[in-house]
């Protein structure tokens, strides 16, 4: 269940950031999840709730933002949104694209009680 390891990593980062900011409590955690990671939001939520016990994020709200896939053509430099099984460039017709977005899991921001907002991106 890979959502659990993702959730544990999120909680680890959140705990570290909360400590750096001397925050007692984290109210909101915003995470951007690339669609290519095939994370089930519901499973991630449940894992997050299990993983955060005893941390400053214990009562935090989890906000999940889906990041769409974006590819960049290596031949003409065009950026486009490919289908998962079709990476042919709409500009030049070459299948020589590189994924530039949609494959990451990023902790976007936290809302902590002690500080207003800690941007971590």
Which residues contribute to the site for Zn ion (CB under 5 A)?
Answer: 73, 75-76, 78, 89, 91-92
Cα dihedral 44/47/51/55 (nearest 10): 50
CB of 90 to Zn ion, least distance (A): 8
Identity of the residue, 33 or 89, whose beta carbon is nearer to Zn ion in the bound complex = 89
Identity of the residue, 50 or 95, whose beta carbon is nearer to Zn ion in the bound complex = 95
CB of 104 to Zn ion, least distance (A): 23
Token couple for 51: 């993983």
CB of 94 to Zn ion, least distance (A): 5
Identity of the residue, 40 or 86, whose beta carbon is nearer to Zn ion in the bound complex = 86
Token couple for 62: 């989890």
Identity of the residue, 45 or 78, whose beta carbon is nearer to Zn ion in the bound complex = 78
CB of 76 to Zn ion, least distance (A): 3
Q: Which residues pair with 28 in a beta bridge?
A: 61, 111
Question: What's the CA gap between 82 and 38, in Å, rounded?
Answer: 16
Question: What's the CA gap between 5 and 14, in Å, rounded?
Answer: 14
Question: What's the CA gap between 1 and 19, in Å, rounded?
Answer: 28
């Amino acid at each position: 269940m890979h959502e659990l390891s993702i959730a544990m990593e999120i909680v680890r980062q959140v705990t570290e950031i909360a400590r750096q900011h001397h925050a007692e409590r984290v109210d909101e955690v915003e995470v951007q999840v690339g669609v290519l990671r095939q994370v089930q939001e519901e499973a991630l939520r449940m894992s997050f709730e299990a993983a955060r016990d005893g941390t400053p994020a214990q009562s935090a709200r989890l906000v999940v933002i889906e990041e769409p896939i974006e590819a960049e053509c290596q031949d003409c430099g065009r950026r486009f949104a490919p289908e998962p099984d079709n990476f042919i460039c709409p500009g030049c017709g070459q299948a020589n694209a590189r994924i530039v977005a949609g494959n990451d899991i990023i902790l976007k921001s936290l809302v902590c009680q002690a500080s207003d907002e800690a941007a971590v991106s």
